[in-house]
Amino acid sequence: MKVVLQNLTKRFPSRTKNEPDVIAVNDFNFEIPDGKLIGLLGPSGCGKSTTLNLISGLEAPTSGKIFFGEDDVTRLPPENRGVGLVFQNYALYPHLTVLDNILFPLQNLKGPEKLSKQEMRERALHAAKLVQIDTLLERKPSELSGGQQQRVAIARALVKTPRVLLMDEPLSNLDARLRLQTREEIRRIQQETGVTTIFVTHDQDEAMSISDMIVVMKDGVVQQIGAPQDVYDNPVNLFVATFLGTPPINVFDGEIKGEKLYIGGEAVLPKPGLPDQKVSVGIRPEGFVLDENGPFTLNLSRVEVMGRDTSVVSTHPKSRNVTIRSIIPTRNKVDRTAKTVRFSLVPDKVHLFDEKTDKALGTEEKP
């Protein structure tokens, strides 16, 4: 089931007269293709949870429309939309067993949809098997680990075979190891059921790793939509560039002069076709290549060995971050006693942004 959001806007009235209204979601337009896993990504307070609540129907939009397929569901109450929602804290009923929790949505069905006890049980068991908790059915939620509770919550959301599955920060309550495991699990469940799934996260790793598409939001406004790799490789503005990637992108004050990019006094990269101007330069950590004769000189602070690769921490007067972090393969040895370290740059990994508007320069803008 594809989901279409049309000029979706949500305003919250301000608490005092002097403050302006809060626009949590501002003119959101997006068509989510059928059967895809979509990550809504942004820093906290960017309106991603509100967007999810609008799609679920827990909140009504101020203006704009929501379609599931061809149906306009904007004015439908949540129960008639056919959505399953996994809450951030799971919201499992603590006094009911796992099985009763999963059965709960089915027991609410009435009229022609009403199921026999046998059918309900079968569907609940099917959902439980899908998320691999079929051995825990008689337990209470308090007797389950965080990851297991998460699965129960997913099973409960899936048991009514929703048209759209929504997840609010599905991994935020899990520890790091479980997070890795669970996100693959979410991917598997999504692919097995083929249900269009939208999940909210502030963790870009999470969103990048399992989504078919990510939507990056900031202050209620959609910044960029696209496949994770595309968005990472071609950020449309400085915010998207800094928000995606760990370690984060390194930002410098730079200048284009005579079709060359200057940072400080050094011409670090040729940039044909761009007029002379001041620019913000974003360089991904993996965009640095250790090169004794490289054009870009940084003051070496320290070298951190990560095992798989080496992280070189350095400073530069034109850097907007306190330190610059570059990732290089371990086989390249850095002279730790040296005061400076020289790099050449990988052109793809260097992004230029307009100094005033923060919009990307030089790369063709992707919608």
Partner 1 sequence: MNKKSMKGWLYLLPAILFLGCFMVYPLIDVLIYSFEEGYNSASQTYYGVGLYNYSYVLRDPYFLQAVKNTFILVVITVPLSTGIALLISLGLNAIKPLRNLYQTVYFLPYVTNTLAVGLVFMILFKKTAYTDGLINLMLKWFGAQSVDFIDGPYWAKMFVLCFYTIWVVMPFKILILTSALASVNKEYYSAARMDGTRSFRIFYKITLPMISPMIFYLVITGFIGAFKAYSDAIALFGTDLNAAGMNTIVGYVYDMLYGNSGGYPSFASAAALILFAIVLTITCINLLISRKNVQY
Q: Which residues bind partner 1 (CB under 8 A)?
A: 56-58, 77-80, 83-85, 87, 89, 91, 93-95, 104-105, 108-109, 140, 142, 160
Smallest separation (angstroms) from partner 1 to the CB of 93? 6
**96/303 with CB nearer partner 1:** 96
Smallest separation (angstroms) from partner 1 to the CB of 94? 5
**30/104 with CB nearer partner 1:** 104
**30/87 with CB nearer partner 1:** 87
**109/338 with CB nearer partner 1:** 109
Smallest separation (angstroms) from partner 1 to the CB of 213? 24
Smallest separation (angstroms) from partner 1 to the CB of 108? 5
**140/320 with CB nearer partner 1:** 140
**169/208 with CB nearer partner 1:** 169
Q: What is the dihedral of CA 166, 171, 172, 177, to 10 degrees?
A: 180
**145/181 with CB nearer partner 1:** 145
Smallest separation (angstroms) from partner 1 to the CB of 87? 5
Smallest separation (angstroms) from partner 1 to the CB of 157? 8
Smallest separation (angstroms) from partner 1 to the CB of 58? 6
